[in-house]
Homo-oligomer: A and B are copies of this chain.
Amino acid sequence: MKKVKIALLGLGNVGGGVYRILTEDKKSIIHREGIDCEVKYILVRDKNKKRDIEFPKEILTDSFDEIINDDEIEIVAEFMGGVTPAKEYILKSLKRGKSVVTANKEVIAKYWPDLNEVAKSNNVGLFFEPSVAGGIPVLKTLWGSMQANNIESIYGIINGTTNYILSRMTDEGKSYDDVLKDAQSLGFAEADPSSDVEGYDAMYKLSILSSLAFHAKVPVEYIYHEGITNISSEDIDYAKELGYVIKLLAIGKKQDHTLEVRVHPTMIKNAHPLASVSGAYNAVFIKGSAVGGLMLYGQGAGRMPTASAAVSDIISACNPANFYYTTFENTYNLPKDLIFQNNWECGYYIRIMVRDKPGVLSNIAGVFGKNDVSIASVIQTGRREDIVPLRIITHSAKEISVKKAIEDLKYSEGVIEIGSLIRVEDDI
């Protein structure tokens, strides 16, 4: 049996879960894995704060130096969140020859190539499965089970809050604002929900996922992102009628040397397995050259699911053979021979408020045609009133052409307002 001493940085939601598993399931882990993980330190800001778990008081410390200077510590597991001081602690640990496990998506998304290098040159491991999609082992699947594949695309529902909101809007026909308020009171959304609903959280995770999948560092700044705040129950209903659901998807695609990475609300077909991922669940659908479509589904957040991924990483980190360093084909600041495509192709759903009079439709169709956007269907619903919604679905079209058409439409006769634009992915 191998004995390993570890330090936890942070004793919040995830840190607490990790401590619970490592102590309560100690015997099973020793039996199954032959490894005895002892938590020697837990770094906290306030040693006297009341906690929701039991532990011997003496393992608490408010000094990171105590941890870093203890040569017995082989693994540092970071669950503090945020860049400062987490990044510094991670870096210092790696440099002192300690392997690191972290759930910190922001640090990994922003500094992975640097950290990867430091880990490699110090012969220690850097593990971050819990940083993406909580308990779902999607990173390990990408590097440990899909080596025979060139990854072609990734479609992820990787933010629980937005999926919860969209699912309830879809199931109950409620408005975004109503569901958000409810989600906040139930703890499914933060008081300031912008990181989730504006797509930032998914953007960090997509950066990590696509960097790993495509062996190319994908800087956060190269990812297009758009949140769900403009999604109306009207659009959700219309999508339903057409056999679609609306999901906030994180999409990564690679073709030759061209990458496209984007987070936005997306209409996907009802029958696709991603469509039935509802509530706070997450899922990642990966297309590989050999395996075809592969989907992983599970709890993308929460204490114990995230701790499950963290403890798996801690156990992996006990064996140097498991240290994995990715090969980036580009560097952080300078993507070499790699084009980040912002003129991607997909279908588009566009809702336009128009004046209900002759000639308007022909006008609008003309604008799309002029911009090389071909219309698949047009439906005008609602009673005959002065102003009516026109709903258009395009065939596969270029993003820039559609954006140009939308600009042109704003000045077209009879167009009152562009109500919404939702991308449609039919070929997942």
> Which residues of chain A have a CB within 8 Å of any CB of chain B?
17, 21, 25, 28-29, 31-33, 129, 135-137, 140-141, 144-150, 215, 271, 273, 275-278, 288-299, 302, 304-305, 307-312, 315-316, 319-322, 327
Contact = CB atoms under 8 A, between A and B. Distances in A.
B147 A315 contact: yes
A147 B33 contact: yes
B21 A290 contact: yes
Given A32-B327, A150-B28, A292 B299 contact: yes
Contact of A297 (B33, B145, B294, B319): B294
How many identical chains are in the complex? Answer: 2
B307 A148 contact: yes
Contacts of A293: 298-299
Contacts of A275: 276
Given A273-B276, A292-B298, 8 more contacts: A137-B294, A140-B144, A148-B308, A290-B311, A291-B299, A293-B298, A295-B298, A297-B297
A150 B308 CA distance: 11
**4 closest Cβ pairs, A-B complex:** A321-B321, A148-B311, A137-B145, A290-B308
A276 B268 CA distance: 15
Contacts of A297: 273, 294-297
A294 B136 contact: yes
Nearest to A314: B148
Contact of A321 (B136, B319, B327): B319
B129 A312 contact: no
B148 A137 contact: no
A141 B148 contact: no
A273 B299 CA distance: 13
21 contacts: A17-B290, A21-B290, A32-B327, A33-B147, A135-B291, A137-B145, A144-B144, A147-B311, A147-B312, A147-B316, A276-B276, A290-B308, A290-B311, A291-B308, A292-B304, A292-B305, A293-B298, A294-B297, A294-B299, A295-B297, A319-B321
Nearest to A329: B31
A294 B290 contact: no
A352 to B, nearest CB: 33
B147 A137 contact: no
Nearest to A141: B137
A364 B80 CA distance: 62
